[in-house]
Amino acid sequence: MKPVETCDTLFVEPFAGMAGDMFLGALLDLGDPRFSLEHLRALAADLVPGEAQVATEKVWRGSLSGLALDVRTPERGTLPHRGIADLEALLARSALLSPASKERARAVLWRIAVAEGRVHGCAPEEIHFHEIGAVDTLVDVCGAVDALERLGVRRVLATPPLVGSGTVRCAHGDMPVPVPAVAELLRGRAHHIGGGGERLTPTGAALLVELVAEFGDPGPFVASAIGYGAGQRDPREGPPNVVRVQLGRSGAGTPRPEVWTLECNLDDMTGEELGFLVQELRAAGALEVWTSAVAMKKDRPGVVVAALARASARPALESALFAHSTALGLRWTRSERTECERIDLEVRVGELRVRGQRRVRPGADPRSLDTRDIAFEYDDLAALARARGIALRAAEQLARAAFAKA
């Protein structure tokens, strides 16, 4: 059944874990004509001509059936090893992906590269996706973000994923589950241990972390279409190896996203110590950190250190505050807030990369472009201005012109 236009929310349930192909299979299993197998095959041919054939099959995994997606590639050794720059180049050349989908796919791929880089102690640019994995990952990620756009999904909700347990054998030997890259991607996020073996892959984790603000109860929800994506394995231990997605709308009275504000008064720390504390709070998962000058007891000048955080990040922020300050206590205040969706973007001005974000205001069409909604990173604009010997505002104008041509 074709969902109505108000069905703009996707609810993901990775109760048995998730891989990129499972998520994409579940989206196809929704049966919506706006995103079909034929379109996915055309997208794969557009991204990597002659390197991928896409097939699906209805299978049983334990007591549940789902759609298994198979991205078939030529024999190992016939495809190139690709790094993040190679995948970005393939994205840029795509004729079927919209600029918004390219930005979102690039953000997911960078999450994987950054996590792998931390694990292996190298820069993300040095990470190589092995030959077949690069094709699989590219099709899974690009197919997923393209599906969300075509289905009109503006908000993705998800329950905490099951990551698995035990160990798994890979190219680097036996690894603990979750594998190190998944552990990095889930840093500060709720998840469940169990299920036996590897249940959540790096691609699955990167998609969830990029698409979902926080894992938890979705609140009132009305589903219009339901899809099940099956994994390649059918393990005997744990829940059936499928992921469920539901396309629908949030019910009346659904609460706005919840955030917490941390506050602490300090009057006995140096400016350098306060600056370091702010950096550590951000590293611990704060959405934002700021300071305000105040007059404290005995008229001593002091500072209020404040941070905004999701509920899941509260323990990490408390640990960081007590480890890097003289605080004897802190205050937490719960709030609701209205949030704009933010989509990472990147443009090239000559040889320089300029990163930024595009906001999607509540009620606005995510495919529409408004110059008021584009913001570029200061550090990248400053580097461009210095390289060209121009003013910062002129560098911003060059970046906006490059984005308009993308």
Picking from 250, 277, 312, the residue at the C-terminal end of a domain is 250
Say whether both 113 and 246 belong to one domain: yes
Residue 111: pLDDT above 80? yes
Say whether both 96 and 180 belong to one domain: yes
Say whether both 322 and 292 belong to one domain: yes
Mean of the pLDDT values across residues 300-325? Answer: 93
Picking from 336, 366, 396, the residue at the C-terminal end of a domain is 336
Domain annotation covers residue 188: yes
Give the C-alpha separation, 54 to 16, whole Å: 24
Residue 76: pLDDT above 70? no
Q: How many domains does the chain have?
A: 3
Predicted confidence at residue 306, as pLDDT, reads 97
Say whether both 107 and 164 belong to one domain: yes
Say whether both 80 and 26 belong to one domain: yes
Residue 170: pLDDT above 80? no
Say whether both 230 and 294 belong to one domain: no
The CA radius of gyration of the chain, in Å to the nearest whole number, is 23
Say whether both 272 and 360 belong to one domain: no
Question: What residues contact residue 312 under an 8 Å CB cut-off, 6+ apart?
Answer: 188, 189, 190, 214, 215, 285
Mean of the pLDDT values across residues 4-16? Answer: 82
Residue 79: pLDDT above 80? no
Domain annotation covers residue 321: yes
pLDDT tens digit string along 270-296?
999 999 999 999 999 999 999 999 998
Domain annotation covers residue 263: yes
Residue 127: pLDDT above 90? no
Sign of the torsion angle spanned by Cα atoms 367, 368, 372, 374: positive
Domain annotation covers residue 313: yes
Residue 366: pLDDT above 80? no
Say whether both 388 and 281 belong to one domain: no
pTM, to two decimals: 0.67
pLDDT tens digit string along 198-221?
999 999 999 999 999 788 888 788
Mean of the pLDDT values across residues 32-57? Answer: 95
Domain annotation covers residue 1: no
Question: Average pLDDT, whole number, for the chain?
Answer: 89
Mean of the pLDDT values across residues 169-177? Answer: 80
Residue 362: pLDDT above 80? no
Give the C-alpha separation, 327 to 392, whole Å: 39
Say whether both 121 and 243 belong to one domain: yes
Say whether both 177 and 78 belong to one domain: yes
Residue 47: pLDDT band with limits 50, 70, 90: very high
Phi-psi sector, 201: left (phi>0), alpha (psi -120 to 50), beta: beta
Give the C-alpha separation, 9 to 221, whole Å: 9
Predicted confidence at residue 256, as pLDDT, reads 65
Say whether both 276 and 401 belong to one domain: no
CATH of the domain at 293: 3.30.70.1380
Q: Which domain holds residue 23?
A: 9-250
Domain annotation covers residue 172: yes
Give the C-alpha separation, 95 to 34, whole Å: 18
The answer to whether the beta carbons of residues 61 and 225 sit under 8 Å apart is no
Domain annotation covers residue 4: no
Say whether both 30 and 166 belong to one domain: yes
Sign of the torsion angle spanned by Cα atoms 66, 218, 282, 211: positive
